[in-house]
Structure formats: structure tokens, C-alpha cells
């Protein structure tokens, strides 16, 4: 039986406007925002999210003006932040967005905005 | 007649899963994510957002374990990123979340997650 793979970072925390985050909650959540706080990573993330079938390999998204090793480096960072999952198939590693993590981040902000 | 003050950074861009962001869109949007990508700034932001009346001065949120000048520095960064607006009243500068900016950021993510 295959174990269910959990993303390495699990979203936490109430909407930002509900109460002040604790230090620990802020540490966990800042990791995810920081991962999207770089223009190249944000473009790559958007390229994966908008790619056909919701997944992409480095071979699919090499048109952002940086080298393939740099693309791989940034995709790994996004994965470490829990925003992407990955699966090796043959030669390539395919990346996919983690919808639950993104939805949780979106709610942190949207509910904060409504307050 | 008083001019309407626009936030310095205006949110742009379609949901991240709709199409790859352009370089310019990614530059503009990454600034906002980066501002929330620091644990202390994220706690301060949450402290402002959850404070009574939706606004706070440095005097209200000095309990995150950093000095008052550091708090002021981080609040200024959040303002520069367009996430907070500010108003001086007497001795203190009061900060308030920019709901439209946050809602736009939330939608970038939430719609990306649903794709």
C-alpha cells in the first residue's frame, strides 16, 4: 500500500484580520509568501499553474529568460515552500500546483480584506 | 477639494492559473508577496489588520519582540508595497490595511487554486 504523501508545508492560521498571528504561525506562513516574492519564481509558478493539465516540466517552461538550472532551482524552492508537488516520469520531473495550499493562502488574504 | 489618494502599488494581473504572467506583471506582484514573506512583517500586518477599528499605530503593536524603530521600518515597507495606507494624527502615524489590494492578491491565489 502506498503512503499518502503530505506536502512538506501545511497551511495554517486564521485569516490575517481575525487575530494577530503567533510567532510560530508567522514563521510557517511567511515561507509561502516569500516563495512567491521573487519575480522569476512568480512567473514560473504562474507558468506551471496555467500549463495544460495543470502541470509542467522544466522542458515546458524555459521561456522566462533564465537558464534551465535556474528554472530547476526555483521550482525546487516552490516545492520546498509547499506550493508545488512533483513527480518524476522518465527523464523529466513534472510539477503541479498544490490547490489546497493556495486556497488557504488566498483565504488568509481575502478574509483579511473583508474585515 | 481634496485629491483621492491612490495606493502606491496597484494590484494587477489575472489569476495565476489563467496564463503565464509577463515579466512586468510578475515584478509588480512579487513586491506584494515579498512584503508578507518576512515573519515579523507578517505578524505586524496581522496585528494591524486585526486591531480594533482596522487600524493601529506603532504604539498599539509593540509586543512582537522587536524595537519600535524596527516596527516602524517594517510598517513603512508594508506601506511601500501598497498593503497598508497611513495617516498622521497628532503624535502618531496610524496604519490601515488596503482591502482592495489584499482582495486582489487573494483572488490571484484562490482562482489559481480552483483551476
Q: Which domain holds residue B103?
A: 23-108
B39 assigned to some structural domain: yes
A72-94: pLDDT as tens digits: 999 999 999 999 999 999 999 99
pLDDT tops 80 at residue A63? no
Could you tell me which residues are beta bridge partners of residue B97? B84
Judged by phi (left if over 0) then psi (alpha if -120 to 50, else beta), residue B35 lies in alpha
Over residues B18-39, the mean pLDDT reads 93
A6 in any annotated domain: no
What's the total number of domains in chain A? 1
Selected residue of B19, B109, B110, B114 to mutate for chain A interface (largest A Cβ count, 10 A): B109
User: Does any domain span residue B1?
Assistant: no
Residues of B in Cβ contact (< 8 Å) with A9: none
pLDDT in tens, B36-73: 999 999 999 999 999 998 899 998 887 788 898 999 99
Mutate to test the interface with B, among A9, A35, A112, A115 (most CBs of B within 10 A): A112
Alpha-carbon gap: A28 to the closest alpha carbon of chain B (Å): 8
Out of A17, A30, A108, the one facing B37 most closely (by C-beta) is A30
Mean pLDDT (chain B) is 86
- Asked if residue A4 is part of any domain, the answer here is no
Residue B73, pLDDT score: 94
Q: Is residue B43 part of a domain?
A: yes
Q: Enter the DSSP assignment of A14.
A: -
Q: How many other C-beta atoms can be found within 10 angstroms of the C-beta atom of residue B86? A: 14
- Please check whether residue A17 lies inside any domain of the structure: no
**CATH code of the domain in which A41 resides:** 1.10.10.10
Residue B47 and residue B64: Cα distance in Å, rounded?
Answer: 9
> How confident is the prediction for chain A on average, in pLDDT?
86
- DSSP-derived 3-state class of residue B7: coil
Q: Which residues are CB-contacts of B104 (< 8 A; sequence separation ≥ 6)?
A: B11, B12
Mean pLDDT to the nearest integer, B74-91? 94
Average pLDDT (A26-45) is: 95
**pTM greater than the 0.90 cutoff:** no
Whether residue B10 is contained in a domain is answered as no
Amino acid at each position: 500500500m502506498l503512503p499518502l504523501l503530505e506536502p512538506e508545508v501545511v497551511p495554517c492560521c486564521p485569516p490575517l484580520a481575525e487575530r494577530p498571528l503567533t510567532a510560530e504561525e508567522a514563521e510557517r506562513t511567511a515561507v509561502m509568501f516569500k516563495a512567491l516574492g521573487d519575480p522569476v519564481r512568480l512567473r514560473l509558478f504562474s507558468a506551471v499553474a496555467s500549463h495544460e493539465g495543470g502541470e509542467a516540466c522544466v522542458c515546458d517552461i524555459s521561456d522566462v529568460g533564465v537558464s534551465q538550472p535556474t528554472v530547476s532551482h526555483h521550482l525546487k524552492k516552490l516545492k520546498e515552500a509547499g506550493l508545488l508537488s512533483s513527480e518524476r516520469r522518465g527523464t523529466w520531473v513534472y510539477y503541479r500546483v498544490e490547490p489546497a495550499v493556495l486556497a488557504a493562502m488566498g483565504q488568509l488574504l481575502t478574509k483579511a480584506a473583508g474585515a
